[in-house]
Amino acid sequence: ALLILLAHALEARTRRSLVRLVTLGALLVAAMVMNNRRLAFVGAGAGALAMVAALPPSPARTRVVRSLVPVGVLLAGYIAVGQASSSPLFAPARLALSALSQEDTSADSRVVENDNLIVTFRENPLFGSGLGFEYIEVQKLYDISEIFAYYRYIPHNSVLWLLTLGGVFGFFFLWAPYVVHVFMAARAHAGLASPTERAGALACVAAAVVAIVNDWGDQGRSNYINVVAAAATFALAAKLYAVSGPRTPGTGAAAGGSPP
């Protein structure tokens, strides 16, 4: 939702879209802080960078990229100050730092789990073990079998998990929808005239990246919210691609020129 607001502000560039981003965006960021999930901030940052990368070469993109420099400086200062502050205003900064340090029992268990997934992948790197098989557990940090007997069927890192299930060959087909997703959205963006449609295309690019972040960070392929969001934005990207005009980067309204 936050990235949708940002995409519309980038494309519409009106006072209303900016006010909507600031007001509703503040509420969404507050909700992210209360939810206390650092992965949400990682996904939001990665999605925003992906949208900027998807913008075609144009004066508008140059202005956006240049504006990221002072924003980055302010963000770095905010995180540096927040490191030593206990104020709720700096809660996002502390979450960002915790995502970088990963010094907790949850992070330790993920490292062990990822090592086990890599061992499982090496057993059959081309075609994998197949669907419905547990990963091989050669290391164990904590025993959670009494409360979650089937934990080896649903590891946290869905990327490594898919590699163990399908190997390199199967992973190619399981991962290909993301490639098609981003391709259609980025290509559609270059051929759309309406700011709302272009914002939708940018948001689709961001949604695919957020899904990938969730896949890597925490059971993205086992989480119905993540899967449904990716599927819905895939459908929107396909529709926008189908109705978009000639794909000539730099000619649309987002580039400062005339709509195609």
- Which pLDDT score is estimated for 98? 64
Among candidate residues 5, 97, 18, the one with its CA nearest the CA of residue 51: 5
> 244 by DSSP, 3-state: which?
coil
Q: Are 11 and 64 in contact (CB under 8 A)?
A: no
Q: Are 103 and 146 in contact (CB under 8 A)?
A: no
Residue with tokens 């391709």: 183
Q: What average pLDDT does range 164-170 have in this prediction?
A: 94
State the pLDDT confidence band at 256, using cuts at 50, 70 and 90.
very low
- Which pLDDT score is estimated for 212? 95
CA 108 to CA 146: how far, in whole Å? 20
- Which pLDDT score is estimated for 175? 93
Contacts of residues 169-176 at CB distance under 8 Å and 24 or more positions apart, as own/partner, are 169/126, 169/127, 169/128, 170/127, 170/128, 171/128
Lowest mean pLDDT among 76-80, 187-191, 212-216: 76-80
pLDDT digits (tens, 9 = 90+) for 25-49: 999 988 988 888 888 888 999 999 9
CA 155 to CA 107: how far, in whole Å? 13
pLDDT digits (tens, 9 = 90+) for 95-146: 666 655 555 566 778 888 899 999 999 999 999 999 889 999 888 877 777 8
List, in sequence order, the alpha helices (H) in the chain: 2-12, 15-35, 38-54, 59-83, 91-101, 105-123, 158-190, 195-217, 224-243
Asked whether residue 251 carries a pLDDT value surpassing 70, the answer given is: no
- Which pLDDT score is estimated for 57? 79
State the pLDDT confidence band at 245, using cuts at 50, 70 and 90.
confident
Run of H or E residues at 21: helix 15-35
Asked whether residue 254 carries a pLDDT value surpassing 70, the answer given is: no
Q: Are 79 and 96 in contact (CB under 8 A)?
A: yes
Distance from first CA to last CA of the chain, Å, rounded? Answer: 28
Among candidate residues 206, 112, 215, the one with its CA nearest the CA of residue 163: 215
- Which pLDDT score is estimated for 213? 93
- Which pLDDT score is estimated for 95? 66
CA 134 to CA 234: how far, in whole Å? 30
Task: Say which residues have a Cβ less than 8 Å from residue 253's Cβ, sequence separation at least 6.
Answer: 193, 195, 198, 259
- Which pLDDT score is estimated for 19? 94
Q: What average pLDDT does range 86-100 have in this prediction?
A: 68
pLDDT digits (tens, 9 = 90+) for 176-186: 999 999 999 99
Chain mean pLDDT for the chain: 84
Task: Say which residues have a Cβ less than 8 Å from residue 160's Cβ, sequence separation at least 6.
Answer: 114, 117, 118, 121
